[in-house]
Each structure stands twice: as C-alpha cells, then as structure tokens.
C-alpha cells in the first residue's frame, strides 16, 4: 500500500465503528468498470486489511467495454488500470505502467507499482456513509473517475480527467525504453524523502504542507488527492447503498 493518509484515517474509522456495523447490518456494492480510453487497459483491484480479494483482481478491458464486480459488505480497497500490457514467449504477463508484478493478468493481492492513478473505496454499514476518492498520491498513469449510482447524501463524482503526464516535470517523468513519457511519478516516489512522503518528522499536516509538486497535481486534477494530507477537497461520501461506476479516461 502507498503512503496514503486517507486510507489510514478510514482504517481508524473502520476500527472504531466495526461493532456498530455488525449490529446494524452491512451492504454490498456493485462496481462497474468502463474503459473509455482508445486502447485496451487492464484494471486491477486490491482489498485492504488482509480481507478476501474480489472475485477478480485483474482483467483485460477493451476500449468502450465494461465489466461489473460485486464488492462484499465492509469492503475497503483500491482500483487502478494497467497500460500497454503483453505476454512474452515464456507466458509472463507484464505492463508498462501500474504493474502488479505477478506475471499474470490477476494481481492476486499485489498492489500497483507507482506511478498509478487510484480510486479508493470504503463501503460502510447498511445505510451508513461510504467514503471514496481519486488519489494521485502514488502518481499518475491515466485519467480516472469514480461516481455513485443510487445512494443518498452528497454522492458527488470525483474525477481526474486530465492527462497529467503532459504537464509532468522532467524530474518526475517515467519513461519507457523508447524514451516516451509513460506516466508521472509523485514527488515521494521520485525522491523518497520525508518531506515529500510525509514521514518521520513530516508525518502530521502541520509539518507536511503542500509542495510545488503536489500543487502541480492539484492544478491538473483539483478533485483528486495530490499528497497525503490533501483531505479537505478530496474525500467524498455517499450513504444508502450506492453502487460505483469507475471510468478510465472519463
């Protein structure tokens, strides 16, 4: 898992309210993945807290195609898509971006290798409040959005529709073997220092404010998490049993 404070805070909420969830019942949700990109992508899912993975942890999704998975009650995890994937002569499956390093289409409990654009979802109790967000804390590899279907409350969509790679500074660029810029790293991934990763003495909001790099991500995708403590404008909620619509290249 990446250094994403959103999910840490959600875990704390999860622990504090677990007893209530079991007493009141919980709801599952259908997550529908749509590929609006011109090329095939390979979506992947990762369940948090060492709970069982979804029925598919990775699959191929051609342009304009969609696929739905059911997430069980109290599911908490992340979703992303890999790009430019292929299988070599030995049968090993690899991808140019957001690789999960299993050698297979299925990620089998492995997370994405940054940079990767993420959607994070926490399904709450029956009638309770779900949390969800788009996160660029692990960098950016393709535009992505999350919206709800049904539910009550705010239930606003969150989207990063911009190709952030086009605005990526040289020092954050992830390039392929042919020199093409494939994705944009986060400053934490690129430099691995406490200042940019919000670790060590920088592990609280007061000592880990936005940086020029996180501001660049925020300018490109203002609804998405740009760094670990970007909570105010980037966490979204919906109650009343919503389903989720994930779109790649919205």
pTM score > 0.85 for this model? yes
Burial class of residue 52, CB neighbours in 10 A (0-12, 13-18, 19+): exposed
Query: What pLDDT sits at residue 5?
Result: 53
In angstroms, rounded to a whole number, what is the distance separating the alpha carbons of residues 60 and 90?
19
Residue 77 has pLDDT above 70, yes or no: yes
The values of phi and psi at residue 196, to 5°, are -90, -20
Residue 76 has pLDDT above 60, yes or no: yes
> Smallest Cα–Cα separation from 210: which of 186, 228, 232?
228
Q: Provide the 8-state DSSP code for 140.
A: B
The residue extents of the domains of the chain are 5-248
β-bridge partners, 159: 145
> Smallest Cα–Cα separation from 10: which of 78, 56, 57, 72?
78
Query: What pLDDT sits at residue 26?
Result: 57
Q: Per the CATH hierarchy, to which homologous superfamily does domain 5-248 belong?
A: Thaumatin (2.60.110.10)
Q: What is the pLDDT of residues 162-193, one digit of tens each?
A: 999 999 999 999 999 999 999 999 999 999 99
Residue 27 and residue 126 in contact, taking contact as beta carbons nearer than 8 Å = yes
- Asked if the bond preceding 115 is cis, omega within 30° of 0, the reply is yes
Burial 79-108 (b: 16+ CB within 10 A, else e): bbbbbbbeeeeeeebebbbbbbebeebbbe
Number of CB atoms found within 10 A of residue 54's CB: 17
Confidence band, pLDDT 50/70/90 cuts, at residue 97: very high
In angstroms, rounded to a whole number, what is the distance separating the alpha carbons of residues 71 and 124?
12
Give the pair of three-digit tokens for residue 211: 């940086």
Q: What is the pLDDT of residues 116-160, one digit of tens each?
A: 999 999 998 666 899 999 999 999 999 999 999 999 999 999 999
Residue 126 and residue 25 in contact, taking contact as beta carbons nearer than 8 Å = yes
Query: What pLDDT sits at residue 12?
Result: 46
Residue 204 has pLDDT above 60, yes or no: yes
């Amino acid at each position: 898992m990446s250094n994403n404070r959103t999910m840490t805070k959600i875990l704390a909420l999860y622990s504090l309210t677990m007893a209530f969830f079991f007493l009141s019942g919980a709801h599952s949700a259908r997550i529908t993945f749509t590929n609006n990109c011109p090329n095939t992508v390979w979506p992947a899912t990762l369940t948090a807290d060492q709970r069982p993975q979804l029925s598919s942890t990775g699959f191929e999704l051609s342009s304009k195609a969609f696929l739905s998975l059911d997430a069980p009650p109290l599911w908490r995890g992340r979703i992303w898509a890999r790009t430019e994937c292929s299988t070599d002569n030995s049968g090993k499956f690899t991808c140019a971006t957001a690789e999960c390093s299993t050698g297979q289409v299925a990620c089998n409990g492995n997370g994405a290798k940054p940079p990767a654009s993420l959607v994070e979802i926490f399904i709450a109790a029956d009638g309770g409040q779900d949390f969800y967000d788009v996160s660029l804390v692990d960098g950016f590899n393709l535009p992505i959005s999350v919206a709800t279907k049904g539910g009550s409350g705010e239930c606003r969509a969150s989207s990063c529709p911009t190709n952030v790679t086009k605005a990526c500074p040289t020092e954050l660029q992830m390039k392929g073997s042919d020199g093409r810029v494939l994705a944009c790293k986060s400053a934490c991934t690129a430099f691995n220092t406490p200042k940019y990763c919000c670790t060590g003495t920088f592990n609280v909001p007061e000592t880990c404010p936005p940086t020029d790099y996180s501001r660049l991500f925020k300018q490109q995708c203002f609804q998405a998490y740009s760094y670990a403590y970007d909570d105010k404008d980037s966490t979204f909620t919906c109650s009343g049993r919503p389903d989720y619509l994930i779109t790649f290249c919205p």
